[in-house]
């Protein structure tokens, strides 16, 4: 299978990799100097991850903490910049440790250049962290 070429196709592919719990393949979609930002990150959580290595370290234990089942309500919006998309979606599944339901709404602004993710601003809801047992990645953020 050839690599997805449009930002929207690459993003859809990235979601399937997360559902497949293939974090290594998901990280491989990133440019070496990719930037992941969390503008609403609460105190004690990272607001910025610089480079593929930092993103890999952040995401490596994700499946140990969240068992994703689906990304319903996926809407991908093109912007006036062809390399940048705005994504609205929900991630649903369960929290592995507590077996509690997981249901998070996301808005992301994603830029893709030369078939790799170069920038990902993840506007997730930090208020969800106040839910009991809601350590969504277990990483040292």
Summarised one tens digit per residue, pLDDT across range 76-126 is 999 999 999 999 999 999 999 999 999 999 999 999 999 999 999 999 887
- Has residue 39 been placed in a domain? yes
* Helical (H) or strand (E) element with 28: helix 23-28
Work out whether strand 30-37 and strand 48-50 pair parallel, antiparallel, or are unpaired: antiparallel
Structural domain range at position 12: 7-130
The predicted-structure confidence for 62-87, as pLDDT tens digits, reads as follows 999 899 999 999 999 999 999 999 99
pTM, two decimals, is 0.86
Residue 52 token pair: 């593929």
Domain count, the chain: 1
The predicted-structure confidence for 9-37, as pLDDT tens digits, reads as follows 999 999 999 999 999 999 999 999 999 99
Q: Please choose, from the candidates 6, 9, 11, the residue with its C-alpha nearest in 3D space to the C-alpha of residue 30.
A: 11
Q: Is the distance from CB of 31 to CB of 113 less than 8 angstroms?
A: yes
Stretch 45-66: mean pLDDT, rounded? 94
Predicted pLDDT of residue 54: 98
- pLDDT of 40 over the 80 cut: yes
Coil, helix or strand for 22? coil
- Has residue 2 been placed in a domain? no
We report the CATH number of the domain holding residue 63 as: 3.10.450.50
């Amino acid at each position: 299978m050839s690599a997805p070429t449009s930002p929207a196709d690459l993003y859809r592919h990235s979601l399937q990799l997360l559902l497949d719990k293939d974090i290594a393949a998901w990280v491989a979609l990133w440019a070496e100097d990719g930037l992941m930002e969390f503008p609403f990150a609460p105190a004690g959580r990272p607001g910025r991850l610089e480079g593929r290595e930092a993103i890999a370290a952040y995401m490596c234990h994700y499946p140990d903490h969240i068992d994703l089942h689906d990304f319903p309500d996926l809407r991908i919006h093109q912007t006036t910049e062809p390399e940048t998309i705005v994504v609205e979606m929900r991630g649903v599944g369960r929290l592995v440790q507590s077996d509690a339901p997981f249901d998070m709404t996301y808005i992301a602004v994603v830029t893709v250049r030369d078939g790799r993710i170069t920038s990902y601003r993840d506007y997730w809801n930090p208020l969800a962290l106040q839910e009991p047992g809601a350590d969504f990645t277990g990483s040292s953020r």
